[in-house]
Amino acid sequence: MWLATGAGLFVSLSLLAILSDGFGYDVDVIDMPITALVAILMIAGAVFVCLPRLLRRSTEHGGINPVYLVTWIIVTGLAMRLVFLGTQPVLEDDYNRYLLDGAVTAHGYNPYSHSPLAIAEMTTDDAVLRQISQDAGVVMERINYPQIRTVYPPVAQFAFALAHWIKPWSLDAWRMVILGCDAAVLGLIVLLLREVGRPVAWMALYWWNPVVVKELYNSTHMDVLVVLPMLAALWFAIRQRPMSTAVAVAVGIGAKIWPVLLLPTVFRAWLRFPRIMIPAMVATAALSAALLSPVVISGLNDSSGFVAYGSRWQANDALFQIVLWGCRLVAELAGLAPEAGKLMARALVFAVLCCFVLALNRHPPASPSETCRRVFLTVAALLLLSPTQFPWYYTWLAVFLPLFPLRGFLVLAVTMPLYYAYFHLVARGQEHLFDYAVVFLIWLPVWALLLTDLVRHRNERRSDECGNVQ
């Protein structure tokens, strides 16, 4: 079964790698094999969701040498990644911004000072930026939202620059940077599994996740850069190393901003010890401010990617869409401008998220497993409430599946590929079908399974309490 499952996932992803040639820039969207793409990924996801049962049989009842099993998992997962070298990113163009940002940063410039459009139209005497624009070639032409300055934080910019130093304008060089970070993520998952007493083989729920592999190695998204310091911060917090935790959290904030939500969890155990807590918080604040200073210095106006993303971006969301409908209705009844509804919805979900995180950390964590669970629930709440729920954001959650294999989040490997139907429907002028139907096909199974597991967990806990009383 292990051989068949690994081979099935590898073959599925290999077919996707071959299929990627049909998604070139010279192909009209309506002619792209999007239906085949969705079908392949959903089949791979269906194979993937069978892994927990296979893992339980293998780890609880034995029969397989753990060394052989772990070796098979690692080697097969690596093969799934390497098969995407040289492939055309499918329905994705964010990597063009990565390549340009990497070139600008590698040459010592602040990547937040100029938009791609401004660099392309550079009329100053800055010969270096003019040369970068010329060297970029088609990359410059294919950057989305070229009038907006980059939205990727400074730690990500360093990684982009590293890829440029390895080989300028090379997507495969960027893939190698991703692979290095991904290997470190896998190592941290193994450490956390050992810390909470779970078999190492459960790492397969991350390493073999087809959505993660596709989004990191075909689409080449940068989200592995945030999960690496996030897991490092969690590991250091469990090992009671406050200053290392502070540095890791700050690096995470410098990679994606949102790890600031982890502060109440990773520092909760030291709240009663001000001599430990205060220096750690000061170090986090100082390093975060230093990392984010290039963003602030360049200005947070309408051309800033951070302002644009925080105020306007919305995609593939179901729960937030419902909240937005309600807030728009309230704004309309109150006689407010339509934009007030959007602002109200974002403020509301942010407030709910903050309250949830604070409530989660009312008491100090009683065990390493509890600390892991709180970080996992924080990330899960962030993903479920976010106005933007892109498939690559699933990576944030997927790193916790080896520790907490909840069915609701495992099934996302099956339903999330439906996101790509958006492009097919837009090309046919049927975008409304995605917003009012497909997006709920993606998320309703998740909500239903999470609710079922929650009810079952409460019933089991009540039964245990009744048994203890008797």
pLDDT tens-digit series, residues 304-320: 999 988 888 889 898 99
87 close to 17: Cβ distance less than 8 angstroms: yes
Instruction: Break the chain into its structural domains and give their ranges.
Output: 2-113+149-299+314-454
In this predicted model, which residue has the larger pLDDT, 467 or 419?
419
**What's the confidence (pLDDT) of residue 4?**
95
How sure is the predictor about 458, in pLDDT bands with cuts at 50, 70 and 90?
Answer: confident
How sure is the predictor about 139, in pLDDT bands with cuts at 50, 70 and 90?
Answer: very high
H or E segment to which residue 106 belongs = helix 94-106
Q: What is the DSSP letter of 191?
A: H
Residue 470 has pLDDT above 60, yes or no: no
How sure is the predictor about 454, in pLDDT bands with cuts at 50, 70 and 90?
Answer: confident
What is residue 117's three-state secondary structure? Answer: helix
How sure is the predictor about 79, in pLDDT bands with cuts at 50, 70 and 90?
Answer: very high
**What's the confidence (pLDDT) of residue 124?**
61
How sure is the predictor about 451, in pLDDT bands with cuts at 50, 70 and 90?
Answer: very high
Cα-atom radius of gyration of the chain, to the nearest Å?
23
In this predicted model, which residue has the larger pLDDT, 59 or 414?
414
CA 403, 408, 413, 419 dihedral sign is negative
Residue 203 has pLDDT above 70, yes or no: yes
In this predicted model, which residue has the larger pLDDT, 61 or 427?
427
Q: pTM of the entire structure?
A: 0.94
Distance CA 289, CA 260 (A): 12
Q: For residue range 254-284, what is the model confidence (pLDDT) as tens digits?
A: 999 999 999 999 999 999 999 999 999 999 9
Distance CA 90, CA 210 (A): 14
Distance CA 371, CA 380 (A): 14
